[in-house]
């Protein structure tokens, strides 16, 4: 930005263009919750960047410029925060952990969560990750032999929740080999419910419970019971082996040790909230990204063939990775993940709130002012990526050349894990899971199809996170190599 531009006085939100609305309700009646992110992106193409939006009595600044978004995210948590609605809504649903906290509450919990996702800790967990992936492989072997269509989203969520439960809580819940009261069916209700409540004009559920709210309460109660079980198991391990208090092996043990220190300021509620937060965040985001990656690879045979060849060259006679070094060598598979997150980020919009008076994208906001960051818009802008609509994983490779190569600023434009002090602490694990799952699939199977319900392009559905609708996967077991 030029010095002259920096010297310009900030604009007022009321002076910005935006979609026309109605008296009192503004644009509220135009909103389609399942495709809200697409509506916001379309309005940006019509009204420019930034623009304003009005939802009832709430006025929001909508920003698409990656540089402005990154600058704002660097101002967290002192200037830019989670919204009051999100903080309260998450607390009502039981996950008032590091994700849905602000200020000192966030600082108090952040260091423990970051330590749990340290690359060294994750590397020590690798043998357990291999074991879980072997279960996943067996599950898909059974489906391939039966010629069954796989509910892609549901199976990927079983995988990711098993991984996060093992890493963060030391719990082997094994949803991949169980069809009993799987914790996943309770987890699946939380983010959609939070999304509905964040968009509601009035928090009626605090006064009157509809049948859907009572069902949600039952799911939340079941999750609380499961969380208390994880905590009880961890306390039993700490009691049986006091040395663990000096060197906790996972997030839940570290949180309990800190909680028991009166100086920490942590409460039982903080521990329970972070357990549920890790389950939710570890399940949805990685599973949805993997589903989108498999869908995009199935539509781009050349990219699929290159990923498959890389996996099989790295694995040799093995059918899934057994050593971290093998995953580290999967450069093209990792590029596929980055390209998927550029085109199909599971968090295509972020709603934030000003903690104090500030200026965002050249617009003055008062304390409590609301803003929406469109995190995908910059990635689909030809000023930042050549042929931005094209799925071209090779643009992310270190030696990428040619017109589609990602520019040096690519990772400052495509920010699937956020930016600034509150960047996602689980990003290293997420990439490891993605590479492990894709390597197992391409090393063990041939993809016959990834189908949508209507045979057309996969539809995006927004429910706090953005997922593909109803993908079905069909696999064929890979034939043994000729002697």
Q: Between 194 and 37, where is the model more confident? A: 37
Distance CA 373, CA 236 (A): 44
The pLDDT value given to residue 470? 96
- The tally of domains found in the chain comes to 1
In a domain, 479, yes or no: no
Strands 370-374 and 58-63, sheet pairing:
parallel
Q: Work out the widest C-alpha separation in the chain, in whole angstroms.
A: 75
In a domain, 359, yes or no: yes
In a domain, 443, yes or no: yes
pLDDT of 4 above 70: no
The pLDDT tens digits for 22-79 are 998 999 999 999 999 999 999 999 999 999 999 988 899 999 999 999 999 999 988 9
In a domain, 483, yes or no: no
Q: What is the mean pLDDT of the chain?
A: 91
Eight-state DSSP code of residue 418: -
The pLDDT value given to residue 1? 41
The CA dihedral of 121, 126, 131, 135, to the nearest 10 degrees, is 90
Beta-carbon contacts of 365 under 8 Å, excluding residues fewer than 6 positions away, are: 13, 61, 354, 357, 358, 359, 371
Number of Cβ within a 10 Å radius of residue 359? 16
**Taking residues 314-335, what's their average pLDDT?**
96
In a domain, 327, yes or no: yes
Distance CA 206, CA 376 (A): 34
Helix or strand run (H / E) with residue 62: strand 58-63
Report whether 238 contacts 245 (CB < 8 A).
yes
CATH code, domain carrying 42? 1.10.630.10
In a domain, 480, yes or no: no
Among 264, 303, 296, 278, which residue's Cα sits nearest to residue 226?
A: 278
Number of Cβ within a 10 Å radius of residue 235? 14
Task: Say if residue 63 is exposed, middle or buried (CB neighbours under 10 Å; 0-12, 13-18, 19+).
Answer: buried
Percent of the chain beyond pLDDT 70? 98
Angle between the N-to-C axes of helices 427-444 and 301-315, in degrees from 0 to 180, rounded to the nearest 10: 90
The CA dihedral of 137, 142, 143, 147, to the nearest 10 degrees, is 130
Distance CA 414, CA 60 (A): 23
The tokens describing 57, both together, are 């009595």
The pLDDT value given to residue 414? 94
The pLDDT tens digits for 55-69 are 988 899 999 999 999
Domain containing 317: what range? 3-474
pLDDT of 6 above 80: no
- Greatest mean pLDDT range, 189-193, 282-286, 406-410, 449-453: 449-453
In a domain, 482, yes or no: no
The pLDDT value given to residue 97? 82
In a domain, 21, yes or no: yes
The pLDDT tens digits for 108-157 are 888 778 877 778 778 888 999 999 999 999 999 999 999 999 999 999 99
| Cα separation values, 208 from 90, 132, 264, Å | 19, 43, 37
pLDDT of 7 above 60: no
Distance CA 299, CA 23 (A): 45
């Amino acid at each position: 930005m030029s010095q002259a531009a920096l010297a310009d006085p900030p604009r007022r939100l009321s002076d910005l263009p935006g979609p026309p609305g109605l008296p009192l309700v503004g644009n509220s009646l135009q909103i389609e919750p399942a495709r809200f992110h697409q509506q916001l992106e379309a309005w940006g193409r019509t009204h420019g960047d930034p623009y304003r939006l009005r939802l009832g009595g709430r006025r929001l600044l909508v920003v698409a410029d990656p540089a402005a978004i990154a600058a704002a995210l660097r101002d967290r948590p002192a200037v830019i925060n989670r919204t009051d609605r999100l903080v309260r809504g998450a607390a009502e649903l039981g996950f008032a952990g590091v994700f849905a906290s602000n200020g000192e509450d966030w600082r108090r919990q952040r260091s423990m969560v970051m330590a749990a996702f340290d690359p060294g800790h994750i590397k020590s967990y690798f043998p357990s990750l291999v074991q879980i992936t072997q279960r996943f492989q067996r599950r898909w072997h059974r489906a391939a032999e039966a010629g069954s269509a796989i509910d892609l989203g549901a199976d990927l969520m079983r995988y990711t929740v098993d991984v996060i439960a093992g890493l963060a809580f030391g719990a082997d819940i094994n949803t991949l080999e169980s069809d009993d009261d799987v914790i996943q069916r309770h987890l699946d209700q939380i983010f959609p419910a939070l999304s509905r409540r964040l968009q509601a004009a009035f928090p009626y559920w605090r006064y009157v419970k509809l049948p859907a709210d009572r069902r949600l309460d039952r799911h939340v109660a079941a999750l609380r019971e499961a969380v208390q079980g994880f905590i009880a198991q961890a306390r039993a391990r700490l009691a049986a082996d006091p040395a663990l208090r000096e060197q906790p092996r996972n997030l839940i043990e570290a949180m309990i040790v800190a909680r028991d220190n009166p100086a920490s300021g942590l409460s039982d509620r903080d521990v329970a909230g972070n357990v549920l937060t890790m389950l939710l965040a570890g399940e949805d985001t990685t599973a949805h990204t993997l589903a989108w990656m498999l869908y995009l690879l199935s539509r781009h045979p050349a990219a699929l063939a290159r990923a498959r060849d890389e996996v099989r060259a790295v694995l040799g006679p093995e059918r899934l990775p057994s050593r971290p070094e093998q995953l580290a060598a999967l450069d093209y598979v990792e590029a596929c993940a980055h390209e998927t997150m550029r085109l199909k980020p599971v968090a295509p919009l972020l709603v934030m709130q000003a903690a104090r008076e500030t200026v965002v994208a050249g617009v003055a906001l008062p304390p409590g002012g609301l803003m929406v960051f469109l995190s995908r818009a910059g990635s689909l802008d030809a000023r930042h990526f050549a042929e931005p609509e094209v799925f071209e994983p090779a643009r992310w490779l270190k030696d990428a050349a040619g017109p589609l190569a990602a520019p040096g600023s690519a990772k400052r434009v495509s920010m699937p894990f956020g930016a600034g002090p509150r960047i996602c602490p689980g990003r290293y694990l997420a990439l490891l899971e993605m590479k492990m799952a894709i390597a197992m699939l391409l090393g063990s199977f041939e993809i016959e199809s990834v189908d949508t319900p209507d045979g057309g392009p996969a539809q995006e559905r927004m429910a706090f996170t953005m997922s593909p609708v109803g993908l079905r996967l069909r696999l064929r077991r890979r034939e043994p190599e000729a002697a």
